[in-house]
Amino acid sequence: GAVVSQHPSWVICKSGTSVKIECRSLDFQATTMFWYRQFPKQSLMLMATSNEGSKATYEQGVEKDKFLINHASLTLSTLTVTSAHPEDSSFYICSAAPGLATGELFFGEGSRLTVL
Amino acid sequence: AQTVTQSQPEMSVQEAETVTLSCTYDTSESNYYLFWYKQPPSRQMILVIRQEAYKQQNATENRFSVNFQKAAKSFSLKISDSQLGDTAMYFCAFMKHPTQGGSEKLVFGKGTKLTVNP
């Protein structure tokens, strides 16, 4: 199956700093990428949808200025957590769609963020 | 808006036995996809099975099969000959049918934690 890679897989940062997480589709072009957040023992919560070359669409309640999403190319989307605080500590997962209208979505391995 | 409900927070089964995980959903869409994803302790999301709503035949993938009841909006997952490696969180998910060249978001249920006991 298609491969989606997330980097870093885990990151620890100090409160007030910014952290960037990358999501790459390695063997296909992803017209759409999705970013999810998952708290321990909970389900995945969609944060935003990004389409290549356009602004991300954020879900209600997600702070656009805190979670900056950029989808600059058909193989790369980035999530930047700005001025991170301990409550931003979570597991972040991206998924990418090849845009074939087939319902296919491929998930990255996830990134665990810990803010001290 | 679509919703997905998984009413069993936790389930357990003995190795080699069969277990069924329940999922119901609510939508006004007529064409959509339904999925079961597995999330083992590694947290990597793994697609178990996918069902297209316009197909009446239930999807199967080796030991995994679904019972798709469109009128009842029910989509249960049956795991036969359970193996220790099946221990994981299982998420039921809904996606409305994408438009040409696009993709739609997945709406997830809250998940069922399945433990396979030796």
How far is A63 from B114, CA to CA, in rounded Å? 34
Confidence of residue B4 (pLDDT cuts 50, 70, 90): very high
Contact A97, A104 (CB under 8 A): yes
Reduce the secondary structure of B3-54 to three states and give it as a string: EEECCCCEEEEECCCCEEECCEEECCCCCEEEEEEEECCCCCCEEEEEEECC
Looking at residue B52, what is its pLDDT?
Answer: 93
User: How many Cβ atoms from other residues are within 10 Å of residue B23's Cβ?
Assistant: 27
Q: Rounded distance, CA A62 to CA B103, Å?
A: 21
CA distance A103 to chain B (A): 7
Closest-CA distance of chain B to residue A59, Å: 11
**Can you give the pLDDT at residue A54?**
84
**How many residues make up chain B in this entry?**
118
Nearest neighbour of A101 by CB, restricted to B42, B100, B109: B100
| Rounded Cα gap, residues A91 and A64, in angstroms | 18
Contacts 24+ apart (CB under 8 A), B66-69: B66/B34, B66/B36, B67/B20, B68/B34
Confidence at A1, pLDDT banded by 50, 70, 90: low
| b/e burial code for range A92-106 (CB count within 10 A of at least 16 → b) | bbbbbbbbeeebbbb
Identify residues of B whose CB sits under 8 angstroms from chain A CBs: 33, 35, 42-45, 47, 50, 52, 91, 95, 97-111
Contacts of A99 in chain B (CB under 8 A): 101-103
Return phi, psi of residue B85, to 5°.
Answer: -70, -5
Check CB contact under 8 Å for B44 and A109: yes
| Cα→Cα distances B85→A83, B3, B50, B99, Å | 39, 29, 20, 36
Chain B partners within 8 Å of A102 (Cβ): 98
Mean per-residue pLDDT for A22-29? 93
- Chain A segment 49-108 residues within 8 A of B by beta carbon are 49, 91, 93, 95, 97-103, 105, 107
pLDDT digit string, tens, across residues B22-79: 999 999 998 999 999 999 999 999 999 999 999 989 999 999 999 999 999 999 999 9
pLDDT digits (tens, 9 = 90+) for A42-84: 999 999 999 888 889 999 999 999 999 998 899 999 999 999 9
- Give alpha helix (H) positions in chain A: none
- Is residue B53 within 8 A of residue B2, CB to CB? The reply is no
Helix, strand, coil abundance in chain B, percent, nearest 5: 5, 50, 45
Please state, rounded to an integer, the average pLDDT across all residues of chain B: 94
Inter-chain Cβ pairs, chain A and chain B, closer than 8 A: 65
Angle at B106 between CA B101 and CA B110, to 5 degrees: 175
Q: Which of A70, A77, A67, A81 is nearest to A25 (CA)?
A: A77
Yes or no, beta carbons of A101 and B50 under 8 Å apart: no
Cα–Cα distance for residue pair B49/B77, rounded to 1 Å:
9
Contacts A110 to B, Cβ<8 Å:
43-45
Token code pair at residue A53: 């070359």
Min Cα distance B16 → chain A (Å) is 26
Do A103 and B101 count as a contact with CB atoms less than 8 A apart? no
pLDDT above 70 coverage of chain B, percent:
97
User: CB atoms < 10 A from the CB of A33, how many?
Assistant: 31
pLDDT band for B100, please (50, 70, 90 cuts): low
Average pLDDT over residues A34-39: 96
- B47, B50, B103: residue with CB nearest A97: B103
